[in-house]
Structure 1
Amino acid sequence: MTTTEISPSRTADHTSCRLAHRPEAVGHARRIARPLLHSWRVGEEASASVLLVLSELVTNAVVHARPPLALHLHLHREHADLRVWIAVTDGGPATRTGCCAASRAQDEHGRGLFLIDTLATSHGTCMHGGGSITHWARLRAPARTAA
């Protein structure tokens, strides 16, 4: 764990942590979310979608935004379905693209918003004072069925 990462703050249906503004933040976020989704009994297909959207949101923040980067996950019930709300807050747009973007081929860019549009039931952006921005997505997350 780097000095800018802190242990997640958790309740039964919420976790929150600060991630380092580095490419490794994506893997760290997934390592936090995967067991949490399992403990919430989210089905495999829904978990895969949540992890993919989470990865896209964190990657976009690392590549296109200024530090700091904060990750927030929240699960709550809406009607009969479970939903997962993911929010990634960053320091606002960077003046230049992050270092990990330079190492990728051009055809590896530009699919994130399409994936989020496809997998999320809703998503958006909230602007905050001081220039920070929260990008969020809400996904259906039905529970695993008993085998």
Structure 2
Amino acid sequence: MAFKMDHIVLNVVDVDAMLHFYVEVIGVHGERVDDFRDGTVPFPSVRLNQDTIIDLFPKTMWGKDNPDQVCRPNLNHFCLVTDKRNWEELQQRLERNGIPADDGPVKRWGAHGTGISIYFRDPEENVIEVRYYEGSGEGKPCLLGS
């Protein structure tokens, strides 16, 4: 059985800061931003590709049960993959915006073998890994338990 990722959801405190980061720094497109701002939809999203989005849930959606706490999910990090040129451009944008790397560039194994990764944080401390794979067909697919 094979799956594609449809979306992930990040619980956020400052929607505007997160939209700025993902759209302006990472370079992805905002979705439903105007509809969110005028109250038509409960949250905006950013589109990673034709199949995958990140939903940005404002505190009004996740803070009902614990209004005085900032939700910190059990997410360790998520990984985005791109080509080498875009990866290098992203590194430059991170530097221009004063966003330090937590780690990298480092070689790490992933769904398509070994790639070159950099790790950094968004404005709400979610760890993001961005990688590229050198060469085509390098490595084997990631299998659970392998």
Q: TM-score, normalised by structure 2?
A: 0.32
Q: TM-score, normalised by structure 1?
A: 0.32
Greater CA radius of gyration, 1 or 2? 2
In proportion to residue count, which structure has more helix?
A: 1
